[in-house]
Amino acid sequence: MNVVKTSLLTCLLANAIQAIGAEENRTNIILIMTDQQSFNTISAYQEIYNGVYSQTPNIDRLVKNGISFTRAYCANPVSVPSRFSLFTGMYGGVYSIRENMCRGAEESVVRLVLETNGMGAVFTRGGYETVYAGKVHLPFCGNKGNGKFTAPVGYGFQTYLTKDEREDLSRITANFVAHRKATDKPMLLVSSFLNPHDICLEGSANLSSTIKGNKEEKIKTVQMLRERAASYDSLKFYQEMVPSLPFNFAQTTGYPDTKASRKRFLDYPEWYWKKYRWTYAELVSMVDAHIGKILDALDANPELKKKTIVVFTSDHGEMQAAHHSMTKSLPYEECQRVPFIFAGKGIPKHRVDNSLVCNGVDLLPTLCDLAGIEKPDKLDGLSLANRVKGGDQPLNRSSVFVESELFVTLINGNYKYTYFDRDHGHEMLIDLSTDPGELKNVKDDPEIARKFMPIFRSELKKHMVNFPKEEVKPLFQKKKRKRNYVKRFSNLGINEPRYF
CA distance 149 to 194: 12
- pLDDT one-digit tens code per residue, 267-291: 999 999 999 999 999 999 999 999 9
Mean pLDDT, to the nearest integer, of 315-320?
98
Beta strands 340-344 and 308-314: pairing type?
antiparallel
The residue ranking higher by pLDDT, 218 or 490, is 218
- pLDDT one-digit tens code per residue, 424-438: 899 999 999 999 999
Picking from 379, 398, 417, the residue at the C-terminal end of a domain is: 398
pLDDT for the residue numbered 391: 96
Q: Tell me if 297 is assigned to some domain.
A: yes
Instruction: Clarify whether residues 345 and 383 are in a common domain.
Output: yes
Q: Tell me if 71 is assigned to some domain.
A: yes
C-alpha closest to that of 202 among 218, 214, 217, 187? 218
Secondary structure class of 476 (helix, strand, coil): coil
pLDDT for the residue numbered 25: 85
pLDDT for the residue numbered 10: 55
With a pLDDT cut of 90, the percent of the chain lying above it is: 85
| 326 contacts 249 by C-beta, under 8 angstroms | no
CA distance 86 to 275: 32
Is pLDDT above 50 for 105? yes
Instruction: Clarify whether residues 393 and 430 are in a common domain.
Output: no
Alpha helices in 126-240 (DSSP H): 167-178, 199-205, 216-231, 234-236
Q: Tell me if 391 is assigned to some domain.
A: yes
Instruction: Clarify whether residues 336 and 416 are in a common domain.
Output: no
The boundaries of the domain holding residue 137 are 26-199+272-398
Mean pLDDT, to the nearest integer, of 399-422?
96
- The total of structural domains in the chain comes to 2
Is pLDDT above 50 for 395? yes
- pLDDT one-digit tens code per residue, 184-203: 999 999 999 999 999 999 99
Instruction: Clarify whether residues 176 and 322 are in a common domain.
Output: yes
pLDDT for the residue numbered 446: 94
Instruction: Clarify whether residues 112 and 179 are in a common domain.
Output: yes
Picking from 381, 398, 415, the residue at the C-terminal end of a domain is: 398
Instruction: Clarify whether residues 420 and 382 are in a common domain.
Output: no
Instruction: Clarify whether residues 39 and 173 are in a common domain.
Output: yes
Is pLDDT above 50 for 120? yes
Is pLDDT above 50 for 67? yes
Q: Tell me if 234 is assigned to some domain.
A: no
- The domain that holds 488 is classified in CATH as 3.30.1120
Mean pLDDT, to the nearest integer, of 245-273?
92
Mean pLDDT, to the nearest integer, of 443-465?
93
Q: Tell me if 225 is assigned to some domain.
A: no
Instruction: Clarify whether residues 416 and 355 are in a common domain.
Output: no
Is pLDDT above 50 for 479? no
Picking from 378, 398, 418, the residue at the C-terminal end of a domain is: 398
pLDDT for the residue numbered 469: 62
CA distance 91 to 41: 25
Instruction: Clarify whether residues 388 and 452 are in a common domain.
Output: no
Q: Tell me if 381 is assigned to some domain.
A: yes
pLDDT category of residue 151 using cuts at 50, 70 and 90? very high
pLDDT for the residue numbered 7: 58
**Contacting residues for 112 by C-beta, under 8 A, at least 6 apart:** none
- The domain that holds 75 is classified in CATH as 3.40.720.10
CA distance 420 to 432: 19
Instruction: Clarify whether residues 149 and 180 are in a common domain.
Output: yes
Q: How far is CA 293 from the centre of its chain?
A: 22
Q: Tell me if 61 is assigned to some domain.
A: yes
Secondary structure class of 451 (helix, strand, coil): helix
Mean pLDDT over all residues of the chain? 91
Instruction: Clarify whether residues 83 and 185 are in a common domain.
Output: yes
Beta strands 340-344 and 66-69: pairing type?
antiparallel
Q: Tell me if 181 is assigned to some domain.
A: yes
pLDDT category of residue 261 using cuts at 50, 70 and 90? confident
Instruction: Clarify whether residues 328 and 411 are in a common domain.
Output: no
C-alpha closest to that of 117 among 147, 144, 84, 145? 84
